[in-house]
Amino acid sequence: MADTDPALPLAGVLVVACEQAVAAPLATRHLADLGARVIKVERPGGGDFARDYDTVVGGLSSHFVWLNRGKESVVLDLKVPDALAALRWIVARADVFVQNLAPGAAERLGLGAAELRAAHPRLVTCAISGYGATGPYRDAKAYDLLVQAEAGLVSVTGTEEHPAKAGIPAADIGAGMYAFSGVLAALYRRERTGEGTAIEVSLFDALTEWMGFPLTYAAGSGRAPVRAGTAHPAIAPYGAFTTGDGSEVVLAVQNEREWQRFCAEVLGDPALAADSRFATGSARVEHRDELHAAVDAVLGGLTGDAVLARLAAAGIARARRRDLVGDDGVLAHPQHAARGRVTTVGSPVGPVPAMLPPLGFAGGTARMDPIPDVGEHTAAVLAEFGVQGLGDR
């Protein structure tokens, strides 16, 4: 691996991760981005199964490319006593141990938080699970879609007629980010106390927290927010509108002053602001269909660029509804281009596209080390830690 920039905040921190899929790899990739050394322990016979989700990035999986840059891959068969002993030997020298093994598996392997921390009080352990270590759902399968359904995200996503899952693995991302922030907090606490700690994060708990607005709305009103596509259940006009050239403009009118400017300067109809159906925020939501018809009648006669220009002149929040690819796609976004956000990292198949880390530190160079091949670093890591005769078992 390339030398880590010493200006990065986690330079010198060793993380060992028995990880797969999305949540734990996302947490440890962010740690690697900040300078930590991450040793990723994979299974023999293919490694992390996220390697096989698809083959669209030059033969590599898009999930794996996204989640695993800057790590060292070590293959160990933890059913083999010598391999398990080797892992425990490496963990004893680590600062952080992250795992998202099946419920109870870490404890059966002697890698549970209680056992590890009893032997290594400075160690920070982080266990990521689907539903937590206790409760009736402890052993339930916790694929992202299933957790989105159980946490209610599917119930508030989509249109009134058609509920939908989020287009990204929201439960996995939520858990991964809470694990990442939890590890950072634990390392900070260790600097003050000298003691590590045990962190537990579940996909279900993380996503339920992210459901805070809909759950609070439901608790206060006795009903769930309506599914409204790109619209907002409590604000109108808000969402995507199709313009005369077929492009979609997203706008958000947040208060009465903006509503009056929107009517006068964008729609060219100041009197509409005082129409009793639309005169207050709650009235606009109640008469959303009629409101949208009035907006569509004007925007449908203009190009997307013309609508955006009017919205800008009126000081109304606006955006393009972009696809992922193409001349106007997210990868070609002018904001990314201006800030040099799109780059490449090395991989077993050569350079592949990547975004720079969202966290930047003054004086530090963003760490963009390669994506490892399965078991690429097994021999070197085992030799470094004095483990002999294992090969890639």
Looking up residue 90, the CATH number of its domain turns out to be 3.40.50.10540
* pLDDT for res 240: 93
**Is 151 found in the same domain as 192?**
yes
Q: How many whole angstroms separate alpha carbon 104 and alpha carbon 111?
A: 10
Residue 228 covered by a domain:
no
Number of domain units in the chain: 2
Which 8-state DSSP code applies to residue 248? E
Contact 122, 190 (CB under 8 A): yes
Residue 216 covered by a domain:
no
Contact 214, 144 (CB under 8 A): no
Q: How many whole angstroms separate alpha carbon 75 and alpha carbon 49?
A: 13
Q: How many whole angstroms separate alpha carbon 174 and alpha carbon 176?
A: 5
Residues of the chain scoring pLDDT < 70: 1-3, 389-393
* pLDDT for res 392: 46
Q: How many whole angstroms separate alpha carbon 92 and alpha carbon 2?
A: 24
- Catalytic residue among 172, 323, 327, 369, which? 172
Residue 155 covered by a domain:
yes
* pLDDT for res 381: 96
**C-alpha R_g of the chain:** 25
**Is 31 found in the same domain as 109?**
yes
Domain limit, last residue, from 320, 347, 365: 320
Residue 375 covered by a domain:
yes
Domain limit, last residue, from 320, 343, 358: 320
* pLDDT for res 383: 95
**Is 187 found in the same domain as 74?**
yes
Strand partners, 344: 353
Residue 62 covered by a domain:
yes
**pTM attached to this predicted model:** 0.90
Residue 252 covered by a domain:
yes
Residue 89 covered by a domain:
yes
Domain limit, last residue, from 291, 320, 349: 320
**Is 374 found in the same domain as 278?**
no
**Is 186 found in the same domain as 245?**
no
**Is 161 found in the same domain as 20?**
yes
**Is 316 found in the same domain as 350?**
no
**Is 346 found in the same domain as 205?**
yes
Q: What is the domain range of residue 310? A: 238-320
**Is 308 found in the same domain as 168?**
no
What CATH number corresponds to the domain at position 314? Answer: 3.30.1540.10
* pLDDT for res 40: 98
**Is 284 found in the same domain as 174?**
no
Q: How many whole angstroms separate alpha carbon 207 and alpha carbon 176?
A: 11
* pLDDT for res 393: 46
**Is 119 found in the same domain as 38?**
yes
**Is 152 found in the same domain as 118?**
yes
Q: Under 8 Å CB-to-CB from 355, ≥6 apart: which residues?
A: 336, 341, 342, 343
Residue 393 covered by a domain:
no
- Catalytic residue list contains 296: no
